[in-house]
Amino acid sequence: MKNSIYFDISKNELEAKKRLFDRVTKEREYIGYYDLPFQDTQNLKKLEKSLDASIDTVVVVGIGGSSLGTKAIYEFLKPANHLKRKLIFLESTDPLNLTNHIREIEFEKSHFLIISKSGTTIETISIFKYLYSLNNDAKKYTFITDPDSPLEDFAKSIDASYCNIPKNVGGRFSALSSVGLLPLLCAGINVDALLKGAKEIADGFFQEQLIKDHLIDKALFYAKNYTTYHINCIFAYSEALKYFCEWYVQLWGESLGKKQKSSAINVGLTPVGLIGPKDQHSFLQLLIEGTRDKSATFIKIDDFKDDLVIPDISLKHLEKLDDINGLKFHKLINMQCESTLEALQQHEDIPLDAITIQSIDEESMGKLIYYYELLTSLVGILIDVDTYDQPGVEKGKTILQNKIKKAQL
Amino acid sequence: MKNSIYFDISKNELEAKKRLFDRVTKEREYIGYYDLPFQDTQNLKKLEKSLDASIDTVVVVGIGGSSLGTKAIYEFLKPANHLKRKLIFLESTDPLNLTNHIREIEFEKSHFLIISKSGTTIETISIFKYLYSLNNDAKKYTFITDPDSPLEDFAKSIDASYCNIPKNVGGRFSALSSVGLLPLLCAGINVDALLKGAKEIADGFFQEQLIKDHLIDKALFYAKNYTTYHINCIFAYSEALKYFCEWYVQLWGESLGKKQKSSAINVGLTPVGLIGPKDQHSFLQLLIEGTRDKSATFIKIDDFKDDLVIPDISLKHLEKLDDINGLKFHKLINMQCESTLEALQQHEDIPLDAITIQSIDEESMGKLIYYYELLTSLVGILIDVDTYDQPGVEKGKTILQNKIKKAQL
């Protein structure tokens, strides 16, 4: 993984960098996600091994932090790999969506992971109740939840298997905890390689200082300029990174959109996820000619390990396009990435950087996830918010509970 | 379709409203999309009827404006309807994505629509060349392109069928032209009802003034406050509206992110598409507690025509959630929409409105599309941009062409 920064970081002071590093090191003592790359996964592997050989589909029932990370990793790896089992995600209360997904499921060959950190997520429990009404065999279900949550108690009461999420790991930072690892293990994904990638970034940052300066410089720039560049775009050149972008939107938006701790002023950085080349035909115009309130990070895959080629066919009246003949598609898509970046570089007031990941494999994704988690934590410290809570969404939940009570009277 | 506005529109002056209406009426004389609801579709219906009965899949090859509108309509209707044919969209140069999609295609039972307004879109022609190398039977292809484009000339040269996009209809405003209608007809979608819905909004606005004041008031508010509220979120409560959101992002971003005509200053309104309840667990925190730079439009579906119900099961230790028992999922999702809206309404500095569409049918979608196109045009006039061009993206294309030439030397 290589990150090239094209904005000016020379003005970042050493004192500020040191202080930030000290603060994030301190935060690591009580925030759990930092040490997930070093966890013991034996228990999760045992759980996966206990699944019957006939199970070919694992249904992940969870919403937000309970599904976005898993989906990001699974959908990234799926196009390039023959996976052991299929994952199906149930994450909406939309009845048509639910019905259509459930129609796909063969209960005989499926196992269900019910994931809720609090154990009382209304969407997840609603969907679980529906599934449970169709099949109430406790062996069909594994629950992933906080220690001592009502959902753990329920799992114990029906003698179903369960595993815990560490209390100090927040939902949107839980991709590399049991929340992500168990479903990914079920799909046959190499979670050791995933954690190895994350570990490399963690060690590079906290110990070897390989990436430390880099990440700290980037965070300082984003934080210093957040009132100007408060929209942060990821422009990723592969359809496989579509759900990574969705994961990023939650991580960035929900962590950094807050009242400031000291002032209670509303602050926030708005994430936008873009996929190239498709969004060259959609959002790019706004990025190039719109208000100068956006930064953009380009992500490309160095080696697609694919040789699909544009055939050497000349089409009458379209001879002007013969230059593409014989070009490999993976070369074309990376050239599209570079061309868009270069076009944007002609505007000095758009902060740009580029990340190149090695290939479509577990290690690359582990790195990318940990890198973005770390960046989020660093910016959160600098803009003075509590990166790990989400108090804003509670009000709507209370209103909903009252509405439901009223409707049932 | 019902739109309730919760921000203050009482300050909009009559003089400004009148002038805006005059200008959009004038624009209608030379911008083509306004009159698409009144077009004759006989030719397109004939084309669809000419497809062999054995064709069960239609592959849409197009990118940006050549696919987003079709996808928005198709994916909206698909979950609720048994459609005549399946559509597959090829819209990326990502080689793995392409390979996986093409693996799904049975050439024998498929017809291919190659859609490019200019006729020289590099992604579309690259993919077409690849398909053509696998099957060069001209009868397999229909081309949709501008009159006299190189792609039309090519179609004629191989004696393939083709149809045109009106020259004065821009790509992102072409959902209701041949670009959208032909693939939708192939899927068995009732395009007459789709156009009827659009016509109702057009007539209501231009003649009967039913919706005129409403839309004009909304546009005036967005335009007057665009330096403050320059991020405009759609929060749609149905998974079926996911691709509608993607269509909206292109329409809004590419139309309004421009240099101002009079000043050459960079201006723009940034679109964000959200799906509920999922994004209550992602973006909502930022909307509620982040910087006050966002407006939000809630979209819900009045009648899902579905009776899926949360079963009356009480789970031990989760009895607190028994209130949801017996609740229909479609009621739950709409209550979630209303609760989130009410929670946001407690903050006076977040401009909110809500659109309710009747049901998951063609007419409702036709209305919604035309409504948003009209709103975009109105705001474009007010913020003084050329709503219909996209000059910003040309530079990247030139850089790409040079890169490709160099690579082939």
Phi-psi region of B159 (alpha: psi -120 to 50; beta: other; left: phi over 0): left
List helix spans (H) across B138-279: 150-157, 178-186, 191-206, 212-224, 242-256
CB contact, 8 Å: B280 with chain A? yes
Q: Do the interacting molecules here have an ipTM over 0.90? A: yes
Tracing tokens 């990793």 back to the chain, one arrives at A73
Q: Per-residue pLDDT for chain A (409 aa), expressed as one digit of tens each? A: 999 999 999 888 899 999 999 999 999 999 999 999 999 999 999 999 999 999 999 999 999 999 999 999 999 999 999 999 999 999 999 999 999 999 999 999 999 999 999 999 999 999 999 999 999 999 999 999 999 999 999 999 999 999 999 999 999 999 999 999 999 999 999 999 999 999 999 999 999 877 788 899 999 999 999 999 999 999 999 999 999 999 999 999 999 999 999 999 999 999 999 999 999 999 999 999 999 999 999 999 999 999 999 999 999 999 999 999 999 999 999 999 999 999 999 999 999 999 999 999 999 999 999 999 999 999 999 999 999 999 999 999 999 999 999 987 7
Report the candidate in B272, B273, B266, B219 with the shortest Cα–Cα distance to residue B391.
Answer: B266
**Residue among A79, A99, A254 whose CB faces B96 most closely:** A79
> Do residues B248 and B234 lie in contact, with contact meaning Cβ atoms separated by under 8 Å?
yes
DSSP annotation of B308 reads: -
Min distance B52 CA to chain A CA atoms (Å): 26
Chain B residue with minimal CA distance to A101?
Answer: B79
CB contact, 8 Å: B146 with chain A? no
CB contact, 8 Å: B293 with chain A? yes
What's residue B150's pLDDT?
98
Report the candidate in A267, A235, A236, A232 with the shortest Cα–Cα distance to residue A252.
Answer: A232
- Catalytic, B254? Answer yes
Contact A329 B95 (CB under 8 A): yes
Min distance B96 CA to chain A CA atoms (Å): 6
Chain B residues within 8 A of A230 when measuring between CB atoms: 291, 293
Q: Determine the Cα–Cα distance for residues A118 and A137; give it in Å rounded to an integer.
A: 23
Contact B270 A294 (CB under 8 A): yes
What's residue B402's pLDDT?
96
Q: Determine the Cα–Cα distance for residues A274 and B275; give it in Å rounded to an integer.
A: 16
What's residue B23's pLDDT?
97
Contact B317 A95 (CB under 8 A): no
Contact B338 A403 (CB under 8 A): yes
Chain A residues within 8 A of B325 when measuring between CB atoms: 129
Report the candidate in A222, A39, A154, A295 with the shortest Cα–Cα distance to residue B320.
Answer: A154
> Which chain B residues in 316-355 lie under 8 Å from chain A, judged by CB atoms?
316-318, 320-321, 323-333, 335-336, 338-340, 342-344, 346
* Structural domains for chain A: 2-29+193-391 (3.40.50.10490), 33-189 (3.40.50.10490)
HEC string of chain A?
Answer: CEEEECCCCCCCCHHHHHHHHHHHHHHCCCCHHHHHHHCCCHHHHHHHHCCCCCCCEEEEECCHHHCHHHHHHHHHHHHHCCCCCEEEEECCCCHHHHHHHHHHCCHHHEEEEEECCCCCCHHHHHHHHHHHHHCCCHHHEEEEECCCCHHHHHHHHCCCEEEECCCCCCHHHCCCCHHHHHHHHHCCCCHHHHHHHHHHHHHHHHCCCCCHHHHHHHHHHHHHCCCCCCEEEEEECCHHHHHHHHHHHHHHHHHHCEECCCCCCEECCEEEEEECCHHHHCCHHHHHHCCCCEEEEEEEEEECCCCCECCCCCCCCCHHHHHHCCCEHHHHHHHHHHHHHHHHHCCCCCCEEEEEEEECCHHHHHHHHHHHHHHHHHHHHHCCCCCCCCHHHHHHHHHHHHHHHHHHC
Report the candidate in A297, A289, A140 with the shortest Cα–Cα distance to residue A214.
Answer: A297
Report the candidate in A310, A278, A287, A237 with the shortest Cα–Cα distance to residue B404.
Answer: A310
Q: CB-based contacts of A112: which residues, under 8 Å, 6+ apart?
A: A58, A59, A61, A128, A131, A140, A141, A142
Respond yes or no on whether the N-terminal peptide bond of residue B277 is cis (omega within 30° of 0). Answer: yes
Which pair of structure tokens corresponds to residue B196? 């009827």
What's residue A211's pLDDT?
78
What's residue A214's pLDDT?
87
* DSSP string over B63-77: -GGGTHHHHHHHHHH
Chain A residue with minimal CA distance to B127?
Answer: A310
Respond yes or no on whether the N-terminal peptide bond of residue A351 is cis (omega within 30° of 0). Answer: no
Q: Is B151 helix (H, G, I), strand (E, B) or coil?
A: helix
Q: CB-based contacts of B114: which residues, under 8 Å, 6+ apart?
A: B61, B62, B124, B128, B141, B142, B143, B144, B151
**Residues B389, B395, B401, B403, Cα dihedral to 10°:** -150
Helix A362-382 vs helix A14-27: angle between axes, to the nearest 10 degrees? 110
Degrees to nearest 5, angle at CA A172 with A168 and A178? 65
Cα–Cα distances in angstroms (integers) from residue A87 to residues A55, A83, B97, in the given order: 11, 10, 18
> Do residues A216 and A23 lie in contact, with contact meaning Cβ atoms separated by under 8 Å?
no
Degrees to nearest 5, angle at CA B60 with B55 and B64? 170
Q: Across the A/B interface, how many CB contacts are shorter than 8 Å?
A: 386
Chain B residues within 8 A of A235 when measuring between CB atoms: none
> Do residues B293 and B229 lie in contact, with contact meaning Cβ atoms separated by under 8 Å?
yes
Q: CB-based contacts of B374: which residues, under 8 Å, 6+ apart?
A: B24, B201, B202, B205, B215
Min distance B288 CA to chain A CA atoms (Å): 6
What's residue A94's pLDDT?
97
> Which chain A residues in 69-88 lie under 8 Å from chain B, judged by CB atoms?
79-80
Q: Is B387 helix (H, G, I), strand (E, B) or coil?
A: coil
> Do residues A390 and A396 lie in contact, with contact meaning Cβ atoms separated by under 8 Å?
no
Q: Is B59 helix (H, G, I), strand (E, B) or coil?
A: strand
What's residue A198's pLDDT?
98
**Residue among B97, B313, B400 whose CB faces A129 most closely:** B313
DSSP annotation of B315 reads: P
Q: Determine the Cα–Cα distance for residues A64 and B275; give it in Å rounded to an integer.
A: 12
**Residue among A95, A308, A393 whose CB faces B95 most closely:** A308
| Phi, psi dihedrals of residue A27, rounded to the nearest 5° | -60, -35
Chain A residues within 8 A of B257 when measuring between CB atoms: 285-291
List helix spans (H) across B207-294: 212-224, 242-256, 284-289
Which pair of structure tokens corresponds to residue A201? 């970034």
List helix spans (H) across B309-393: 329-345, 362-382
What's residue A408's pLDDT?
79
> In chain B, helix, strand, coil percent, each to 5?
50, 15, 30
What's residue B213's pLDDT?
81
What's residue A301's pLDDT?
98
> Do residues B108 and B56 lie in contact, with contact meaning Cβ atoms separated by under 8 Å?
no
- The answer to whether the Cα torsion of B143, B148, B151, B157 is positive or negative is positive
Give the DSSP H or E segment for B80: none
| Phi, psi dihedrals of residue A270, rounded to the nearest 5° | -95, 120
**Residue among B157, B266, B278 whose CB faces A91 most closely:** B278
Min distance A48 CA to chain B CA atoms (Å): 25
Bridge partners of residue B141, in order along the sequence? B112
Chain B residues within 8 A of A308 when measuring between CB atoms: 95, 98-99, 130
**Residues of A marked as catalytic:** 254, 281, 397
Chain A residues within 8 A of B230 when measuring between CB atoms: 291, 293
Mutate to test the interface with B, among A75, A259, A286 (most CBs of B within 10 A): A286
Q: pTM above 0.90?
A: yes
Q: Which of B254, B362, B363, B373 is catalytic?
A: B254
What's residue B190's pLDDT?
98
B15-71, pLDDT tens digit by residue? 999 999 999 999 999 999 999 999 999 999 999 999 999 999 999 999 999 999 999
What's residue B214's pLDDT?
87
Min distance A207 CA to chain B CA atoms (Å): 32
What's residue A12's pLDDT?
85
What's residue A302's pLDDT?
97
What's residue A409's pLDDT?
72
Q: Is B191 helix (H, G, I), strand (E, B) or coil?
A: helix
Contact A290 B280 (CB under 8 A): no
What's residue A293's pLDDT?
97
Mutate to test the interface with B, among A143, A288, A340, A387 (most CBs of B within 10 A): A288
Residues in chain B predicted with pLDDT less than 70, given as ranges, are none
**Residue among B238, B258, B318 whose CB faces A151 most closely:** B318
Burial class (CB in 10 A: 0-12, 13-18, 19+), A314: exposed
Q: Is B251 helix (H, G, I), strand (E, B) or coil?
A: helix
